[in-house]
Structure 1
Amino acid sequence: MSSSGDMPRTTDSVGAAVDAFRRGQPVCIHDAADREGETDLVYPAGAVTPDAVARMRNDAGGLVCVALGNEVAAAFDLPFVQETIDHPAAADHDLAYDDRSSFSITVNHRDTRTGITDTDRALTITALADAAADPAGTDFAGTFRAPGHVHILRAAPNLLADRQGHTELGIALAEAAELPPAAVVCEMLDDETGEALPPAAARAYAERADIPYVEGAELLDRFD
């Protein structure tokens, strides 16, 4: 597993996470035992390379998604996809861990071929970060096509005051690092059980890889 660099060691998990994000490096965030109970490998979207996508595939294994701030999503008229699906499967979408899903549309950058390769997804992801940095100057439909292979997540309007998912935690971290409101999240899965990677195992991975590990409760205490 690759190292994230020579990061200063600190007992302040939130400070270490903010510093890592500011430097374009990943963070492991565990939301809460009584929520999804998952740890996500989270990157600032603008720093994602093909190698980072490969790392998420191999070391995490979940769905690679880009969380965007609510105002950015609104500027591009990106809906919550559940509200747009006219199908019985979209009715009574009851979630055990939250009131609603944050999923919006899926996209590929128009310069990609299939959109699924590490190179293609990295291009789409970094372009979404550029769009988040300058919504007024971005022709979204001219830059992206839908459907695609990168899932967009739309953060709640009042961020952590409304919802405490990885979508909102990632955007809060980006804001604290003074970066555009765009973060990549990918669930860490356990190859042996087929379930979410237990927090202790996720923390051990983070220590081996020199990546900050932070609990969602710590981020809530600092940012909410």
Structure 2
Amino acid sequence: MTGDASTATATATVDRAVDALRRGDPILVHDAADREGEVDLIYPAGAVTPEAVARMRNDAGGLVCVALADAVAAAFDLPYVQEVIDHPAAADHDLGYDERSSFSLTVNHRDTYTGITDEDRALTITELAAAAADPESVDFAGEFRAPGHVHVLRAAPDLLADREGHTELAVALAGAADLPPAMVVCEMLDDETGGALSPAAARTYADREGLVYVEGSAVVERLG
């Protein structure tokens, strides 16, 4: 395949991923072999149901996180958690694949009970999406409590120009799909090896389930 044909194919795949997200369907995104080297199952937060949470638990197996745009996180006064933990463990956040983590607070919606059930997590996630759609009108502390069972991630201010993690890839795709900047990301793990699911195995899963698989590099090229 020539370079131009390869680029056209990658562009078309990103466009298919955007269309899928616009419909509320999940997609699979591989960040990069020289980064985390992981494939995440990604949903628009507003489309998450209890069944979707169950799918992430059973088919993906990683942490169920909600990636928020930097401006939304700032409106809710959500910090990078590394910057506010007063503990020696947070003093040297040594990562082999990046300069910092995107993790912010963990939250539950105040209408949940324990917060961990599929129903509770789906409620927290969809309410985060609703809040992200109009952050200036939301009393975040009045609607959510911390700590909770949904991990919030804060995207870099300039998204893919600053960082090319799943957090930024997902929020950039939300923007392309005209969705609220709140996206659920969950790492796909391999039951046999205990490690990250390989891109080849993730592609097989995507084909079997009728989902779009896209490389992070294609998203960066198309939307960065």
Q: Per the shorter chain, which TM-score range?
A: over 0.9
Task: Quote how far apart the aligned CAs of 1:11 are.
Answer: 8.4
Partner of 2:144: 144
Once residues 58 and 163 of structure 1 are traced to their aligned partners in structure 2, the CA distance between those partners, rounded to angstroms, is 29
Partner of 1:5: none
Matched position secondary structure for 2:207: helix
Partner of 2:114: 114
Partner of 1:162: 162
User: Where in structure 2 are the equivalents of 1:53-72 lying within 5 Å?
Assistant: 53-72=53-72
Deviating above 4 A after TM superposition, structure 1's stretches of 4 or more consecutive aligned residues are none
Task: Quote how far apart the aligned CAs of 1:91 are.
Answer: 1.1
Higher helix share goes to which structure? 2
1:189 aligns with 2:189: yes
Partner of 1:102: 102
User: Where in structure 2 are the equivalents of 1:171-190 lying within 5 Å?
Assistant: 171-190=171-190
Once residues 11 and 74 of structure 1 are traced to their aligned partners in structure 2, the CA distance between those partners, rounded to angstroms, is 32
Matched position secondary structure for 2:105: strand
Partner of 1:34: 34
Matched position secondary structure for 1:12: helix
Task: Quote how far apart the aligned CAs of 1:169 are.
Answer: 0.3
Deviations along 1:133-168, whole A, 9 cap, x unmatched? 010111101100000000000000000000000000
Partner of 2:7: none
1:80 aligns with 2:70: no
Structure 2 gaps, min length 5:
1-9
Give me the TM-score of the superposition, normalised by structure 2. Answer: 0.95
Q: How large is the RMSD of aligned CA atoms in angstroms?
A: 1.0
Identity %, equivalent residues = 76
Partner of 2:6: none
Q: What letter matches 1:46 in structure 2?
A: G
- Count of residue correspondences: 215
